[in-house]
């Protein structure tokens, strides 16, 4: 399961996080920083501890969002000729038993979905729903698996 990527063949595609998720996080980061600065200015002018507490809260929101954004950016699926990688996990197509999409909830404008890969050894690899074009990715992996299993 964890083999070097040079055994997976040529690079075919890279599926990163959908831009809408990155954009939402960036908006929260920028707005929380702006409100943090405003609350610091208000604290320095009015000398009320409430403004300092609000500034601290906005700073915490900014830091947690920034940390989550950085962690989410590591969730990139790299598709190779003979397998794929998700972060540090490496999986060959002949090790995949089944793959599919599962609905994990409802969001405005559609459903929230994740990809699930089950290997022959029983390990489950979850493809986050934040991955851009996840349905296309699942279809390509299914095609690769079928071509691996097809008799020559």
- Picking from 113, 116, 105, 119, the residue whose alpha carbon sits closest to that of residue 132 is 113
pLDDT number for residue 127: 87
Query: Do 81 and 54 belong together in one domain?
Result: no
Which residue, of 28, 46, 73, is where some domain finishes? 73
Which residue, of 27, 47, 73, is where some domain finishes? 73
pLDDT number for residue 109: 64
Query: Do 68 and 79 belong together in one domain?
Result: no
Contact present, 33 and 62 (Cβ < 8 Å): yes
Confidence of residue 6 (pLDDT cuts 50, 70, 90): low
The model's pLDDT over 57-113, given as tens digits with 9 standing for 90+, comes to: 999 999 999 998 888 877 888 999 888 888 888 888 888 888 888 777 766 766 778
Q: Domain tally for the chain?
A: 2
Query: Do 79 and 143 belong together in one domain?
Result: yes
Query: Do 65 and 11 belong together in one domain?
Result: no
Question: Angle at Cα 105 formed by Cα 103 and Cα 107, nearest 5°?
Answer: 120
pTM: 0.73
The CATH number of whichever domain residue 134 belongs to comes to 2.30.29
Query: Do 116 and 145 belong together in one domain?
Result: yes
Which residue, of 37, 54, 73, is where some domain finishes? 73
The model's pLDDT over 17-62, given as tens digits with 9 standing for 90+, comes to: 888 888 888 999 999 999 999 999 999 999 999 999 999 999 999 9
Domain residues for the domain of 31 are 19-73
């Amino acid at each position: 399961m964890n083999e070097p990527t040079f055994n997976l063949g040529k690079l075919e595609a890279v599926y990163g996080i959908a831009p809408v998720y990155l954009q939402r996080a960036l908006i929260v980061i920028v707005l929380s920083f702006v409100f943090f600065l405003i609350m610091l200015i208000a604290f320095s002018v009015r000398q009320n501890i409430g403004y300092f507490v609000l500034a601290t809260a906005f700073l915490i929101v900014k830091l947690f969002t920034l940390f989550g954004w950085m962690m989410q950016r590591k969730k990139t699926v790299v598709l190779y000729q003979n397998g794929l990688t998700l972060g540090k996990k490496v999986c060959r197509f002949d090790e995949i038993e089944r793959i599919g999409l599962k609905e994990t909830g409802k969001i405005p404008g559609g459903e929230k979905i994740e990809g699930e890969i089950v290997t022959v050894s029983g390990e489950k690899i979850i493809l986050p729903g934040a991955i851009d074009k996840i349905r296309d990715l699942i279809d390509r992996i299914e095609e690769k698996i079928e071509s691996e299993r097809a008799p020559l």
